[in-house]
Amino acid sequence: MSIRRPLNENMAALFLAAFLVCVAIVSGAHATDAIVLSADRYRVETGRYSSFATFQRNLQRILDDCGKGTPHVVAPGEQPRGRIGSETQAGIQRALDCAAFKDVPHGSAARSGAITEAVWRVVMADVAVPSFRERTDALILSFEATDFGEQPEWNFCQDSKAKAGGQFDPKVPGAVCYNESDPCSFLTWGPRGATAGQGREIQWVIWLAWQRAPADVERIFAGEFASVQRFFNLKGNPQNLCRHGAPLERFMCAVWLDPARRRVWEDALAELGRLSVVRDSYARIYALHEFDGGKLQAFAELWKGVGLAVSEVDYAFFMDRVTHLGGPPTEEDAGKSVGKLQTCMAGEHIALNRHAAARRCLGRLQPHATQPQYRLGRDVAFYLDAYADGALSSKEITAWADYVPLSAEHNFALSDANAVQIDPAPTLQSLGSDLPFATKSNLTKAEANACPQNILFPISRSPSR
């Protein structure tokens, strides 16, 4: 997972104030032209390979044909990034004067720049309106900020980088390596925050892409590919334990400390993300029971225990917690988690529905061990709109406003009224028999000795700010 740093104080105050005085869109607009996505509070990152990016390209073409092409939604010669913000909002508002949009209802939220179903149909013709899963992906990417086609993020000395404004050289005399935030991830890549550490998602994704398109993967890594093959099988930490000194960590540290090797890996992962076969492999790995599939099912079972079906907002909440934190509490007696959740929910009288009460309670019962403030800010996004103004604590509202002030219902039109079916997930065995399990320790002598002790065993507390 990547770490989105907070907005500065002035920006946070602005978004907090904007929320407190936010004017609700009249219900008639929703009835006549449902919102698909709104970026009125904060920009939304949908991804450069999403249907929303295609929407931007098509919208620019329509605006050009209508004589309203500037300011640009997508500048000439550029590819759309899927970043939905003020440019796209303004483009939609200008487009409403074009003949193609004559049937968009007068009271539509599109007048404020939202992407609505009527606008989508004009711009995208026969392309289906994005599903709740696609909109969930956009919300999570807005939090993670690690799109395909971009370079990965190294996690060594994570908190030292934050203190140094993003630039940290471990070889400078006196450099101190702090890492409380993400000590056992090593490298983060892609929209779901795949890591090379405990989760080993990067290993599985590259391996599966290599099985499906060997020439592409080998070409992209070039002379480093032999090392990548060793990387597939290197031993790391035991599941759910963060220890230091395993072969995998030493290998990744050796790559990070070598400028030439580091550049190869960064460029290779960025290029891999531009290939559809890699993106498909990424999605397939994450859907497996051993990755997100099993955790998603466990959340659904917890909800079943308190008498709730899974709604669209619940699904998005589960997926975001899986991405940033993991599955639900893993107590030996699952009934304990159900009981604790029921007890908390019984006190949530001010929630507009039981789904929101359950989400707020689970956030309280299972905070993030090293990033509690970031986790709280993300959790609020999934119950903000189910509580009346003033009902949530200032701590919750501030955490939300300081982070990425979006919400599942308001910005992504996800609803607790719509139920979601979560089916059993396939397992790793569905990928075949010769799988890249972590069974080997075959480092080179240089790799085994490359990482100094102060990086291999970082200070596990955040530096003072």
Q: Are residues 14 and 109 in the same domain?
A: yes
Comparing 343-347, 408-412, 416-420, 457-461, the range with the smallest average pLDDT is: 457-461
> Amino acid letter at 243?
R
Q: How confident is the model at residue 461 (pLDDT cuts 50, 70, 90)?
A: confident
Query: Can you count the helices (H) and strands (E) in the chain?
Result: 22, 7
45's enclosing H/E stretch is strand 44-45
Residue with tokens 């406003």: 401
Domains in the chain, number: 3
Q: Are residues 164 and 283 in the same domain?
A: yes
pLDDT averaged over every residue in the chain: 91
Secondary structure class of 59 (helix, strand, coil): helix
Residue 164 confidence (pLDDT): 61
Q: How confident is the model at residue 330 (pLDDT cuts 50, 70, 90)?
A: confident
Residue 178 resides in a domain: yes
72 in Cβ contact with 56 (< 8 Å): no
Q: Are residues 194 and 137 in the same domain?
A: no
Residue 427 resides in a domain: no
Comparing 54-68, 236-250, 406-420, 425-439, the range with the smallest average pLDDT is: 236-250
Residue 1 resides in a domain: no
Residue 421 resides in a domain: no
Residue 161 confidence (pLDDT): 77
pTM: 0.88
Q: What percent of the chain has pLDDT over 90?
A: 80
Residue 20 confidence (pLDDT): 45
What integer is the mean pLDDT of 162-172? 75
Residue 36 resides in a domain: yes
Nearest to 317 by CA among 332, 305, 302, 306: 302
Residue 425 resides in a domain: no
Residue 371 resides in a domain: yes
Q: For residue range 65-79, list pLDDT tens digits in order.
A: 999 999 999 999 999
450 in Cβ contact with 253 (< 8 Å): yes
Cis geometry, peptide bond prior to residue 191 (ω within 30 degrees of 0) = no
Residue 134 resides in a domain: yes
What integer is the mean pLDDT of 436-463? 91
Would strands 153-154 and 187-189 be described as parallel, antiparallel, or unpaired? antiparallel
Q: How confident is the model at residue 4 (pLDDT cuts 50, 70, 90)?
A: low
Q: How confident is the model at residue 29 (pLDDT cuts 50, 70, 90)?
A: very low
> Amino acid letter at 87?
E
* Cα separation, 15 vs 20, whole angstroms: 9
Residue 426 confidence (pLDDT): 97
The beta strands (E) that lie in 172-254 are given as 187-189, 194-195
161's enclosing H/E stretch is helix 158-163
Report whether pLDDT(7) > 80. Answer: no
Q: Bridge-partner residues for 122, per DSSP?
A: none
Q: What percent of the chain has pLDDT over 70?
A: 90
Residue 462 confidence (pLDDT): 63
Tokens, residue 427:
């397992």
Q: Are residues 283 and 294 in the same domain?
A: no
Residues whose CB falls within 8 Å of the CB of residue 31, separated by 6 or more in sequence, listed in order: none
Report whether pLDDT(335) > 90. Answer: no
Alpha helices in 69-154 (DSSP H): 86-95, 117-124, 132-144
Nearest to 36 by CA among 113, 93, 94: 113
* Domain of 63, in residue numbers: 9-144
Cα angle at 247 between 245 and 252, to 5 degrees?
Answer: 90
What DSSP state is assigned to residue 102?
Answer: T
